[in-house]
Amino acid sequence: MKKILVLLLFLQTFFISVSVTKKSISAEDWLSSWNNEMKIKIVNYIDMVTDPKNPGFIPESERFAVFDNDGTLWAEQPTVEELFIIYYAKKMTEKNPSLKNKHPFSRINDFYSNGKFVIKDRRIFDELVGIVHEGMTNKEFQKTAEDFFRETKYPGLNVPLEKIVYQPQLELMDYLRKNGFKVYICSGGETDFMRVISEKYYGISKEQVIGSELVFEYNENTNIMVRRSKLYTDNNGRAKAENIYHRLGRPAVFAVGNVRSGGDIYMLRYSQASEYPSFQLLIDHDDEKREFLYTEADNISLKWAEKYNWNVVSMKKDWKQIFPK
């Protein structure tokens, strides 16, 4: 009898040990590109809000996460959408060579210098933006954008565009989804442009993309939707918070942005208006060797992070790797 009790006690201890080990391994597997300090903060928050016995528990129906895109989910020096504008403008000159000597197409080559993409004259670029988007059907845009993502390599890094996404963020989004979160993009980028790759690159469905939107015109006779160059909504700054409310009807409890222009601070701040415990991540681009090094002139994002107690992610210190292998 004594031997049986000893055996039962051993088995109980063994299974408890296995259970704890599995929990630890699970976090390591899901966030393997994150270093421990920030990983522990994320895991502790998720453990709290998913535990029904914890006072900080969040019902699954209220678990919303929003991520900025440029500089938060993929590289933004330059932004991918800027590359697309020049790509399509070049395609237009290939189709109609007479455009090459006409303004603003005659200035296309000015945007590349020593293998790098540089916008020297924003007015010229904005003219091309208007021309590229004006009058294109949604189907034409979809096909053109798909070709662009397939053919283009990112300047400076010289890799396909799917290789400039941040591996730690892919892991984080998967970890959130595993724990009942609905993950959205909330970006200043054009909505339909991001929708082309949101599912393939990030696992985010088209309807879960919040971005800047153009004016569209619908023709009931041809049954075609046509794009216009005029903005319907510019999803930057305060508009991010406002459009999150328009889409979700409440703040997202988990919000992620990055240091560049201060464009994400209102989205992160708004997440703190939730009635539930919230979590904010601000990505700091401080790794010149593995990615890019840049800051803000007024340092407003980091100032708000300190003021409102957000979590600042140092690419150099907190991420074991940046891009997928």
Residues 60 and 110 in one domain: no
Domain stops at, among 130, 159, 188: 159
Domain range enclosing 139: 80-159
In this predicted structure, the answer to whether residue 22 has a pLDDT above a threshold of 80 is no
Residue 228 shares a structural domain with residue 310: yes
| Domains: count for the chain | 2
- Among 284, 279, 304, residue whose Cα is nearest residue 294: 284
pLDDT reading at 266 higher than 90:
yes
- Please report the pLDDT score of residue 115 as a whole number: 74
Residue that terminates a domain, selected from 159, 180, 210: 159
Claim to verify: residue 42 and residue 184 sit in the same structural domain = yes
Q: What pLDDT does 1 receive? A: 52
Query: Tokens for 229?
Result: 């160059």
23 has pLDDT over 70: no
Give yes or no: residues 252 and 134 share one domain.
no
Give the domain-ending residue among 159, 175, 207. Answer: 159
Q: Is residue 14 part of a domain?
A: no
Residues 94 and 149 in one domain: yes
Clarify whether residues 134 and 209 are in a common domain: no
Same domain, 134 and 111: yes
**41: Cβ contacts below 8 Å, ≥ 6 apart:** 311
Predicted pLDDT at 113: 78
Residue 216 CB contacts under 8 Å (≥ 6 apart), including other chains: 138, 225, 226, 227, 228, 232
21 domain residue, yes or no: no
Is residue 43 assigned to a domain? yes
> Which of the four pLDDT bands, split at 50, 70 and 90, describes residue 28?
low
Give me the mean pLDDT over the 145-162 stretch. Answer: 96
In a domain, 284, yes or no: yes
Residues 110 and 170 in one domain: no
Assess whether 273 and 146 both reside in one domain: no
For the whole model, what pTM was predicted? Answer: 0.90
Asked if 173 contacts 165 with a C-beta cutoff of 8 angstroms, the reply is no
Task: Using a pLDDT cut of 90, give the percent of the chain over it.
Answer: 86
Is the per-residue pLDDT at 322 higher than 90? Answer: yes
